[in-house]
Amino acid sequence: MVKCPLCKNSNKDTVITKCGHAFCRDCIDSRLSLRERKCPGCSQVFDKSYVKDLWLDSQSSTGHNHALHT
């Protein structure tokens, strides 16, 4: 398991897609709410639209969803 580098407490589960750095949801959320919207890793400004669940992509990319083909 990879821990969040900020709080070293929770697992990384959230990624800033703009720069690819990952942290835990708590740390990301607190930055969004504090208007401190810079990536702690590289100081790029981000907002909610760049924040994604870290595990969402790998699940959706392997989906063979032919059910919609009607």
Residues that bind Zn ion (CB under 5 A): 4, 6-7, 19, 21, 24, 27, 39, 41-42
Contact status, residue 49 vs residue 18, Cβ threshold 8 Å: no
Task: Compare residues 28 and 68 and give the one whose CB is closer to Zn ion.
Answer: 28
Task: Compare residues 6 and 32 and give the one whose CB is closer to Zn ion.
Answer: 6
3-state secondary structure of 50: helix
Closest distance between Zn ion and the C-beta of residue 20, in Å? Answer: 7
Q: How far apart are CA 38 and CA 40, in angstroms?
A: 6
Q: How far apart are CA 41 and CA 65, in angstroms?
A: 36
Task: Compare residues 42 and 56 and give the one whose CB is closer to Zn ion.
Answer: 42
